[in-house]
Amino acid sequence: MMNRGKVRYMHKYHLYSSSRLGWVKKPAKGCVFCGIAKGDRKVPEKTLYKGKDVIVVMNLYPYNTGHLQVFPVRHVEDFEELSDNEIASLFSMVKKCVKFLKKVLNPAGFNIGLNIGSEAGGSVRHLHVHIVPRFPRDYGFMEMLAETKVMPESLDKTFERLKKEAKMLE
């Protein structure tokens, strides 16, 4: 029997960030991750590691402090397109990143995931893994009442801190 009169939403809360609007509305000009892989200096990036098979960058529009993205050098859109070697390299690097972030930022936990396809929330059509550190008090008054995410330090400052220890990712 259908429950009439009640609308059930998938998410209880929504996070709004006006700073992401420019990114969302910006027309795609090729793949941003392929641009990073090719060393295209027109592509803004904060690369922490660039290897033969995978690259680690800070997300320029982070969900939280220290938000990293790990992606294969080769352009791949779907999970099943990855070779066994690429899967091993990708998830080995995710493991290294978790250890790295624990040392540098000391988070209480992590959200780790992939958004494959636009319907799943993927805004870049190049497979990548999000690693989002979580902290005990990373959600407070501003997030609840002002619909604004407060970052405890600037993206550049976090990048400086991470870059100093990035040898751990080699």
pLDDT tens by residue, 21-61: 665 565 556 899 999 999 887 777 899 999 999 999 999 88
> Within a domain: residue 69?
yes
At 137 the pLDDT is 76
Q: How confident is the model at residue 117 (pLDDT cuts 50, 70, 90)?
A: confident
Q: What confidence tens digit (pLDDT) does each residue in 63-93 have?
A: 899 999 999 999 999 999 999 999 999 999 9
Please report, for the domain that includes residue 101, its CATH number: 3.30.428.10
> Within a domain: residue 41?
yes
> Within a domain: residue 11?
no
> Within a domain: residue 52?
yes
In this prediction, residues 125-133 reach a mean pLDDT of 95
Q: What confidence tens digit (pLDDT) does each residue in 145-154 have?
A: 666 777 888 8
> Within a domain: residue 10?
no
* Catalytic status, residue 126: no
At 93 the pLDDT is 98
At 23 the pLDDT is 53
At 127 the pLDDT is 95
> Within a domain: residue 102?
yes
Lowest mean pLDDT among 58-62, 80-84, 121-125, 128-132: 121-125
Q: Is the pLDDT of residue 10 over 70?
A: no
> Within a domain: residue 55?
yes
**Domain housing 59:** 18-169
At 7 the pLDDT is 42
Distance CA 114, CA 119 (A): 12
In this prediction, residues 116-143 reach a mean pLDDT of 83
Q: How many domains does the chain divide into?
A: 1
> Within a domain: residue 42?
yes
Choose, from 67, 126, 128, 130, the residue flagged as catalytic. 128
* Residue-averaged pLDDT of the chain: 83
